[in-house]
Chains A and B, each alone.
Chain A
Amino acid sequence: MKIYVTSVFVDSQDKAEKFYTEILGFKVKHNIPLGANRWLTVVSEEEPDGTELLLEPSDHPAVGPYKEALVADGISAHSFQVQDLDAEWKKLTDRGVEFTTEPMDAGPVRMAVFDDTCGNLIQLIQMKDA
């Protein structure tokens, strides 16, 4: 058994597709029309055959309050790993990404949190001993 896809609830799939590809640099892997929405997944360029991230619509009524409560407490919906957090922070900041937590050390990792503009906070992690 393996984890082939994981998801993040996005306010708009169109907006999310732009943000996750143009700003974060992921590549679209699947883009399949599915009624009013799409089965839209992205992958990391570093791992094109790796786990896919499903940009899932937020239609279900439970999703709004769920996302709102997580954001209120500053809790990220997802976590991505990077090699050099401070370089990534600079790159994304230059692209207009808004960080809610600037890079900071947290035990064995260095981390930061940004707003994905689709209703989620996303954490970036660098393993310090890697």
Chain B
Amino acid sequence: MTDDQLDLIFKALSDSTRRRIIDHLSKRPAQSLFEVCAASVAEDGIALSRQTVSQHLAVLEKAGLIEIEWKGRTKAHSLSVSEDDIAAASWLTKYKPKGNET
């Protein structure tokens, strides 16, 4: 994975709201913008504007962590985390102190 891609993934993960969106999409895939907003209110008690959620979803999509499909005429967002993404986000593990390997 290139540094540019790594930047996008770390940027996407660097915001608690985006991490919560990932949590929600892992529980229930194929959510519309409206559903992501509703889940935020229902599960976290945080009312986010559609504009805000829309921007967060765009950052996650750019990082390749979510994928878009159309459910009829409605845009649905699902989690799309690859082995490569997980390996990339584990970037620090290569500096794990020697002798602590389990």
Listed in ascending order, the chain A residues whose CB lies under 8 Å from chain B are: 68, 71-76, 98, 100-101, 104-107, 111, 113, 115, 121
- With a CB–CB cut-off of 8 A, which chain B residues contact A101? 32, 34-35, 38
With contacts A73-B50, A74-B32 taken as known, whether A105 is within 8 angstroms of B74 at the C-beta atoms is no
With contacts A73-B50, A76-B34 taken as known, whether A107 is within 8 angstroms of B71 at the C-beta atoms is no
Minimum Cβ distance to chain B for residue A97 (Å):
13
Bound Cα distance from A113 to B34, whole angstroms: 10
In this complex, the member of B35, B42, B74, B75 whose beta carbon has the largest number of chain A beta carbons within 10 angstroms is: B74
- With a CB–CB cut-off of 8 A, which chain B residues contact A107? 41-42, 45
Do A111 and B38 touch across chains, with their CB atoms under 8 A apart? Answer: yes
When C-beta atoms are compared, the residue in chain B nearest to A70 turns out to be B34
| Interchain pairs with CB closer than 8 A, number | 49
Do B42 and A105 touch across chains, with their CB atoms under 8 A apart? Answer: yes
Q: How many residues of B contact A (CB 8 A)?
A: 17
Interface 0/1 of B32-64, CB less than 8 Å to A: 111100110110010000100010000000000
Minimum Cβ distance to chain B for residue A123 (Å):
9
Do B32 and A73 touch across chains, with their CB atoms under 8 A apart? Answer: yes
Bound Cα distance from A73 to B49, whole angstroms: 13
- With a CB–CB cut-off of 8 A, which chain B residues contact A72? 73-75
Bound Cα distance from A85 to B76, whole angstroms: 23
When C-beta atoms are compared, the residue in chain B nearest to A68 turns out to be B73
Bound Cα distance from A71 to B73, whole angstroms: 6
Minimum Cβ distance to chain B for residue A33 (Å):
31
Do A74 and B75 touch across chains, with their CB atoms under 8 A apart? Answer: yes
Bound Cα distance from A71 to B33, whole angstroms: 10
- With a CB–CB cut-off of 8 A, which chain A residues contact B54? 73
Interface 0/1 of B63-78, CB less than 8 Å to A: 0000000011111000
